[in-house]
Amino acid sequence: MQIIGGKYRGKKLFHQSNDTVRPTIGRIRESIFNILASKINFDGIHVLDLFCGSGAYGLECYSRGAGEVVLVDLDTHIAKRNAEKMDYVTIKQGDFIHILDTLNQKFDLIFLDPPYDTNYGEIAINIIRQRKLLNENGIIVYETNRDYLCHPDRPKGVEGSSEANIQIKQYGKIKVYFLQN
């Protein structure tokens, strides 16, 4: 696993795969970033990588010019190792609900890659909306398993979004939602 673009392109990322951690494979991340590149300019943006695992999504943004990246997970030891010597990367360890409730800033891009067998992504989307943590025209990228959807086309919590503000991509059993504010 490595960073696929920007200043740190090719930098190897430490990761682990087990029952609770499953890093997004490179070709899916590359596709996601190709889509994002057509929607936003990474220069100076503020990024939140919730359920960050290795930090791959957030660090990819940092490599592409993000101004600030916040990585959040219950276990941050791998993310810390990958973000070593990178300025403007903040790592917060703890429960995502508590951390979302304590954030005092808005983000231009938020990644949600929670464990597939939970409703954590839906809870996070609701908190992000309630607390208005996403800037105008900001984007949430929500990765989930297509078999764990409360609605065939949209995860719970996304029902209020207009069709124009949702893009869905499917990669095998994985669905990625791009929710634009």
Domain annotation for the chain: domains and CATH numbers? 26-180 (3.40.50.150)
107-146 tens-digit pLDDT: 999 999 998 888 899 899 999 999 999 999 999 999 988 5
Residue 154: which pLDDT band, with cuts at 50, 70 and 90?
Answer: low
Residue 17 pLDDT: 64
pLDDT for residue 149 is more than 50:
no
pTM equals 0.88
At 27, is the pLDDT very low, low, confident or very high (cuts 50, 70, 90)?
A: confident
- pLDDT top residue among 145 and 95: 95
Q: Which residues of 131-152 are buried (b: 16+ CB within 10 A; e: fewer)?
A: eebbbeebbbbbbbeeebbeee
Q: How confident is the model at residue 31 (pLDDT cuts 50, 70, 90)?
A: very high
* % pLDDT > 90, the chain: 57
Give yes or no for a contact between 48 and 107, defined as CB atoms under 8 angstroms apart.
yes
